[in-house]
Amino acid sequence: MQNIIPPATEKLAWVMGPYQEPIATVQPGETFQVSTLDAFGNRIDSSDLDLAEIIQLPYVNPCTGPIYVEGAEPGDTLAVTIDEITITRDYAVSCLIPEFGGLCGTVYTRVLNDPLPQSIMLHPIGEAGMMYDPNLNIPLIPVEPFYGTIGTSPALEAISTLSPGFHGGNMDAADICPGNTVHLPVNVKGALLFIGDGHAAQGDGEVSGVAAEVPTTGIITVDLIKGHATPTPRVISDDFLMSVGNARPMEDAARIAFFDLVTWLSTDYGFDRLAAYQLCSQVSQVRLANMVDILYSVVAKFPKRYMVRS
């Protein structure tokens, strides 16, 4: 099995775009191993560090990639199945970053209040779960690893790995987890897949802007859906069809997600378009994946048990 590891620091992927040379090539149907650094480049090993020295925009949230997929052409869809994610460290990192998060002033949401004080926490991970704080008497947090960032290259732009979009990117959707398949658009030859930002746990919305950040090793299988381009990232699990909308304001992200979900149900699964619209109003579910990044991410989920019976 091919093992794809992050390149040297000076060659890490800080953007998703068509201008960086691929670090590996895989074939459709191939299963391979890929390792990722955490969102801080594995540079935080103490709560006493100065975040200003660690976080140097735009060099945050490094991804492993780009990975070239043989035979992928614009107009195809790349189907990425997450077979397994292993956390490769015995602790996760979380932070309060002074001007980043859902409930503070940021460079996009300007207020006159002082920035929040910085805070770094290291959360021990054991077989039973993750400890938030040894001084706080609460249960262990279940460890449910997923990729916060996964995407393909846009056709022309080089988009920061901090941002989500129609190409995927930093969606922070906990549904990008083992057992699920992610559909991403192919905009350039070879697709150019990027993966990173492993999380051991995360609440919906990622409200402070940082989850339980960890390095990972994953087992991934890629395939191609030829001649059919997904218009926005999609996820398929055993129980749900999911469409992801990435936009600001948040209601536009939700509209993108639901528009795609209704369209998907009507074009691929035999529903009348307006019947699917009305049914979604009664049975669908919503995950606010992130409310902190450059664009917000909303996942609209349709339960498969309501699929049209043949």
pLDDT tens across 112-121, in order? 999 999 999 9
Within a domain: 42: yes
Please answer whether residues 12 and 40 qualify as being in contact, where contact means their C-beta atoms are separated by less than 8 angstroms: no
Angle value at C-alpha 39, between 128 and 230, nearest 5 degrees: 95
Evaluate whether residue 135 is within a structural domain.
yes
Average of per-residue pLDDT across 86-90: 98
137-179 pLDDT per residue, tens:
999 999 999 999 999 999 999 999 999 999 999 999 999 999 9
| pLDDT value, residue 308 | 82
161 assigned to some structural domain: yes
Element of type H or E holding 292: none
**pLDDT class of 309 with cuts at 50, 70, 90:** confident
In order of 70, 120, 123, 200, the CA distances from 212 in angstroms are 34, 11, 8, 5
CATH number at residue 189: 2.60.120.580
3-state SS, 248-288, equals: CCHHHHHHHHHHHHHHHHHHHCCCCHHHHHHHHHHHCEEEE
pLDDT tens, 179-227? 999 999 999 999 999 999 999 999 999 999 999 999 999 999 999 999 9
DSSP codes joined into one string, 224-252: EETT---SS-EEE-SSEEEEEEEESSHHH
Strands 24-26 and 63-69 turn out to be: parallel
Going by pLDDT thresholds of 50, 70 and 90, the confidence category of residue 10 is confident
Is 303 a member of any domain? no
Residue span of the structural domain in which 38 resides: 3-229
Number of domains composing the chain: 1
Q: How far apart are CA 120 and CA 182, in angstroms?
A: 32
Looking at residue 9, what is its pLDDT? 87
Say if residues 79 and 182 touch (Cβ distance below 8 Å).
yes
Give this prediction's pTM. Answer: 0.96
Task: With respect to residue 132, please indicate whether it lies within any of the assigned structural domains.
Answer: yes
**Domain annotation covers residue 146:** yes
The proportion of the chain whose per-residue pLDDT surpasses 70, expressed as a percent, equals: 100
Identity of the residue numbered 126? G
Q: 286 lies in a domain?
A: no
Distances, alpha carbon 19 to alpha carbons 27, 163, 229, 245, in Å:
21, 17, 22, 25
Give the closest residue to 206 by CA, choosing from 98, 294, 292.
292
pLDDT averaged over every residue in the chain: 96
Three-state secondary structure readout of 14-59: CEECCCCCCCEEECCCCEEEEEECCCCCCCCCCCCCCHHHHCECCE
In a domain? residue 238? no
- Reported as a pLDDT band with limits 50, 70 and 90, residue 56 is confident
